[in-house]
Structure 1
């Protein structure tokens, strides 16, 4: 079986002049090499294709592959993560991870919350601001938390994201609208503990790989898991695997959200406790980072005793099961 690999290589975009924050979600060669090594260890032939423009050229030349391992985030628009999957759909080439319409939905944090809430999954009250004139329509009690609806890797998140009065709400909303040119999610700020839940599998086969608490040093962005914190996680963030009733409740909420959204194969769900210690859905990452060293999902799995190779195998096996291919055999 020939597996194509699609991705956005961060260095290519930095060399082209894009700012670091704009390409923070993109991958480096460490990630590409690690995935490639795992796929080859499983006995598959691989071909590195690259970003969407490289994929277009690859397909236009008549090339095909049996499956695509897609981790491309895309660059333009709120459907950027869906672009390569949609193109592969058109060419009837199966791929790893969620379908194009799911990736388009889940990149918009407000729409994602609407879907999970409709399915009974608890999530903080929210409002989406698309224009400065809408700030006055926000009727949620303070404190509130603000972030771009389509950001990832902490994009647009800082100590200023926590707002405690109308003046700050107006000011921060204006800054985010102007800088990121996309709507702003305003939601009730939860003061409790924050966790991320790793998931592999699809529908009834979806399983948690573990629950990891994220504790941020309050000296960095007031303890917010921000862009800066994520870039300097060794200094400012601590990660702890949790178990017991807390983990069970986190997994319950995460798996309910995962299946409500129709996500596939592997990813992460972020959850947080409110003042009554109830676990709430925050957001989903259906294209979770797979850097073997510093991405949250591999860190979580490592703490849970799941090797990087086993993680890639579980993700791939979920995709192979969906498309009717023979499952791989994990070689530790």
Structure 2
């Protein structure tokens, strides 16, 4: 293995900044352990400073950013212009996957089942229930379950007020799919495993994802081999439909009451093109389950780096 000069982008100005900082530090440490020359760059939103850092021409950029600007095609477009190879998906796949409404259209056209629903104006959601309860409201372009609210029967309040929705004027509203939370990591053309996520309280929101002890990860997921294989196949199909590169992770709801020979009860919720690489993250956990150590996973991601 030839040592490379690698720039790790982390931090970022999005609401997922803290997670990105942990991911970036972990990946930088792994790359250094393999003999690479690694520099960490905390992207705060200053594009001029970022361009200056990139003008040193690193061999590869490891993109450990999450959320807006780092995961939505913006950074990818800049790196494409500068012809610097980078990890994870390219600008089009990144932009598509971050826009949940656009991604849903692509995934459904590929034959994958997603929850129904529609993008609505914030004012319309505030005017009363836009769907029969229970339903879910979420930002169109955020990750890590930021801003996601489940509105259930008996809830007295609307999902947000005029003053506490910082995610723009568009709101994605979907019917709530009952059942179990499953997730599948994909490495280019094959799925790793299926994990069931069991939050100890509430649902699998930002706190449940990134706070130790809040969620049990059941690996492998205790589902039938038919459901296990179907989830893995659908995750790979979603990765390909969006044009993803390197690692992605697909999240599902599995409605056991719907499960039959004709209907497996799986609903694809979303595809994450830059999954977390923290000590609690699912991709490293599934890779380790298959015998792939964290450092080797990160090295593989570097080897997949390219630009469009």
Note whether the superposition's TM-score is higher than 0.5: yes
Q: 1:117 to 1:136 in 2, by over 3 A?
A: farther
1:43 Cα offset (Å): 4.0
Query: Is this contact kept in 2: 1:229–1:237, CA < 8 A?
Result: yes
Gapped regions of structure 1 (runs ≥ 5): 324-332
1:245 Cα offset (Å): 2.3
* Alignment-derived partner of residue 56 in structure 1: 51
Report the Cα distance in structure 2 between the residues aligned to 1:176 and 1:149, rounded to whole angstroms: 18
1:108 Cα offset (Å): 1.4
Q: 1:121 to 1:255 in 2, by over 3 A?
A: same
Give CA-to-partner distance per residue, 1:235-285, whole Å, 9 cap, x none: x31111126222211101111111100111012110111341321110111
Give CA-to-partner distance per residue, 1:118-160, whole Å, 9 cap, x none: 1111111121113313677987544212211222222113xx5
Report the Cα distance in structure 2 between the residues aligned to 1:212 and 1:264, rounded to whole angstroms: 21
Report the TM-score, using the length of structure 2 for normalisation: 0.83
Matched, 1:307 2:293: yes
Query: Is this contact kept in 1: 2:11–2:18, CA < 8 A?
Result: no
Matched, 1:163 2:152: yes
Report the TM-score, using the length of structure 1 for normalisation: 0.77
Matched, 1:281 2:264: no
Residues 39-54 of structure 1 mapped to structure 2, 5 A cutoff: 39-51=31-43, 53=46, 54=49
Query: Is this contact kept in 2: 1:197–1:269, CA < 8 A?
Result: yes
Query: Is this contact kept in 2: 1:74–1:80, CA < 8 A?
Result: yes
* Alignment-derived partner of residue 228 in structure 1: 207
Report the Cα distance in structure 1 between the residues aligned to 2:284 and 2:220, rounded to whole angstroms: 16
Which has more helix, going by share of residues?
1
* Alignment-derived partner of residue 327 in structure 1: none
Q: More displaced, 301-310 or 262-271?
A: 301-310
Gapped regions of structure 2 (runs ≥ 5): 260-264
Which of 158, 162, 178 does residue 191 from structure 1 map onto?
Answer: 178
1:24 Cα offset (Å): 4.5
Matched, 1:4 2:7: yes
Matched, 1:108 2:108: no
CA RMSD between the two structures: 2.9
Report the Cα distance in structure 1 between the residues aligned to 2:139 and 2:177, rounded to whole angstroms: 17
**Larger relative contact order (Cα-Cα within 8 Å, sequence gap ≥ 6):** 2
Report the Cα distance in structure 2 between the residues aligned to 1:279 and 1:66, rounded to whole angstroms: 41
